[in-house]
Structure 1
Amino acid sequence: MTTPRLLIIQPDQTDPIGPLGDWLIDAGAELDIRLPSTSSLPDDLDGYQGLVCLGGGMSADDDLAHPWLVPVRRLLDTALLQTLPTLGICLGAQLLAIAAGGQVEKGVHGPEVGASLVAKKDAAWTDPLFAELPLMPDVFHFHEDVITRLPGNAVLLASAPRYPNQAFRIGRCAYGVQFHIETTAEVVQAWAKDVPDMMSAAKPGAFEAATLAQAHADLAETWQPFAARFVRLAAGALQPAAAKPRHLPLT
């Protein structure tokens, strides 16, 4: 398997790639990490075999406060046009959804915060990245904006009762997950300290050290193999999802 070069966009200093970066490297990837708020982004995706966009505390359409969101969404759109393996995480998933024509708004049912489970949808069982995940994968939530409308060409892969659009695929190989798989206990404890208003949505004890340690052990067990499959997808060693058949209109 060749070594795929992945562009990692880190929108927020407080959300580094963490264990996910280790998993990607261990699976054979080379990472080019860019923080668009402090460093330049590439003009195109030439020379990259995959794209990962991480999370952040800003809203996905807050271009006035964060003008670099525009080129981030442009790169995500380019990845879609080029059928480049792509993974958007939390804010990254929201940016991917907007780039493809979806909608993101503040969640009407309040924030999702803490360790949780999502449920796979039928389409996930035949998806190259999601098929081997358990029926209800462990995830970590920390967001108040949600994807209220998926792009028209998206396939829903995982859902939850409060906010249904938890994981999706656009086209053959662009994925978005409305949760975190890259965090550490220390990172989310820092988030909790920085955004105390979000904590009212968390279960009692959700951010205690032992609870977070177990939650992140569960995340690693579930999502490290997923990260390895993403690297195989970027390297061309794993086939992307089949293209949707086009149906002619009935006359």
Structure 2
Amino acid sequence: MTSPLLILKAGATFPALAQTLGDFDDWIRAGLDAPGLAIRVVDARHGELPLAQTLAGVVITGSHAMVSDREPWSEAAAAWLRGAVQAGLPVLGICYGHQLLAHSLGGTVGYHPGGIEIGTVSVQLQPAAGDDPVLGELPPVFAAQVVHRQSVQQLPEGAVRLAANAFEPNQAFRVGPAAWGVQFHPEFSAQAMRAYVERLGPELHAEGHDPVAVAAGVADTPAAARVLRNFGQHVQAASRAGGRAGLRL
């Protein structure tokens, strides 16, 4: 029996949105597009985290929580994540998961001084992404969905910046041979992104943003979506090869 890929839920989307479109883990499962790859879902807030050695890889979801609050479940997940990276388990952190990965390895996470970044934005690959197995085949500039108030303010030691934009210098990074974090949401559809803009509309308006203009700028993001597919393929290839390269910390 092949080892499963774990979707580690760090949170859930709004209940009304989940009723119509599904939850974060549903979107990630669909985005991985990896037939034959077994998927296991564990809620980090309530479930017992499995041994990393029993898994083929892990994707950590986004969340409406804040990493800097250091809630007990989040700190426990960070400690588990550090061990998983050390063991060489392929890891992909998305938004909260991206920040949690950085925090777990000694990076700094906090509120972005510019406030919220939300909507469909332009992201630029950095030179180090050229031969990266997850981001390397994306176009030099691509559209991505974002919604975050916190960000990785300082990358972990040894981390490589893979993508950035004018608002967020750490849109993506890799640390070691097999752990990635992306601040943007490769699993978000345009429909999901518009729902977030609508749901947060009063807050956006109060903070000086025009929700109508933000919603009008939302578009499909097929290039960003390839991050999940590429990660799924990487996990499958690593599983077939049967080897892991751990990270010395």
TM over 0.5: yes
CA pair 177-70 structure 1, distance change in 2 beyond 3 A: same
Using the TM superposition, give the Cα deviation of residue 127 of structure 1 relative to its aligned residue in structure 2, in angstroms: 1.3
> Does residue 1:19 correspond to 2:27, yes or no?
yes
CA pair 153-217 structure 1, distance change in 2 beyond 3 A: closer
Structure 1 alignment gaps of length 5 or more: 245-251
CA pair 226-203 structure 1, distance change in 2 beyond 3 A: farther
Which structure has greater helix proportion? Answer: 2
Counterparts of 1:13-52 in structure 2, within 5 Å, are 13-14=12-13, 16-37=24-45, 39-52=46-59
Aligned residue in 2 for 1:249: none
TM-score by length of 2: 0.82
> Does residue 1:231 correspond to 2:232, yes or no?
no
CA pair 32-228 structure 1, distance change in 2 beyond 3 A: closer
* CA deviations over 1:125-154 (Å, ceiling 9, x no partner): 011222211111221110010111000110
Query: What SS is found at the alignment partner of 1:147?
Result: strand
- The answer to whether the Cα contact below 8 Å between 2:92 and 2:231 also exists between their aligned partners in 1 is no
TM-score by length of 1: 0.82
Q: Within 1, Cα distance between the matches of 2:92 and 2:204?
A: 25
Using the TM superposition, give the Cα deviation of residue 24 of structure 1 relative to its aligned residue in structure 2, in angstroms: 2.3
Q: 2:95 aligns with which of 90, 93, 96?
A: 90
- The answer to whether the Cα contact below 8 Å between 1:25 and 1:31 also exists between their aligned partners in 2 is no
CA pair 155-7 structure 1, distance change in 2 beyond 3 A: same
Aligned residue in 1 for 2:136: 131
- The answer to whether the Cα contact below 8 Å between 1:110 and 1:201 also exists between their aligned partners in 2 is no
Counterparts of 1:42-121 in structure 2, within 5 Å, are 42-63=49-70, 66-121=71-126
Moved more, 19-28 or 143-152: 19-28
* CA deviations over 1:99-139 (Å, ceiling 9, x no partner): 00000111111211101121111110011222211111221
Moved more, 167-176 or 111-120: 111-120
Q: Within 1, Cα distance between the matches of 2:244 and 2:165?
A: 25
- The answer to whether the Cα contact below 8 Å between 1:24 and 1:231 also exists between their aligned partners in 2 is no
Using the TM superposition, give the Cα deviation of residue 202 of structure 1 relative to its aligned residue in structure 2, in angstroms: 6.2
Identity of aligned residues (%): 29
Runs (4+) off by over 6 Å: 238-241
Using the TM superposition, give the Cα deviation of residue 194 of structure 1 relative to its aligned residue in structure 2, in angstroms: 4.0
Query: What SS is found at the alignment partner of 1:26?
Result: coil
Counterparts of 1:159-238 in structure 2, within 5 Å, are 159-196=164-201, 197-198=203-204, 200-201=208-209, 204-208=212-216, 212=218, 214-217=219-222, 219-220=224-225, 222-223=226-227, 225-236=229-240
What is the letter of the counterpart of residue 5 of structure 2? Answer: L
Using the TM superposition, give the Cα deviation of residue 218 of structure 1 relative to its aligned residue in structure 2, in angstroms: 5.6
Q: Within 2, Cα distance between the matches of 1:145 and 1:8?
A: 22
What is the letter of the counterpart of residue 9 of structure 1? Answer: L
Q: Within 2, Cα distance between the matches of 1:17 and 1:141?
A: 17
CA pair 136-238 structure 1, distance change in 2 beyond 3 A: farther
Question: What is the aligned residue count?
Answer: 236
Using the TM superposition, give the Cα deviation of residue 22 of structure 1 relative to its aligned residue in structure 2, in angstroms: 1.7
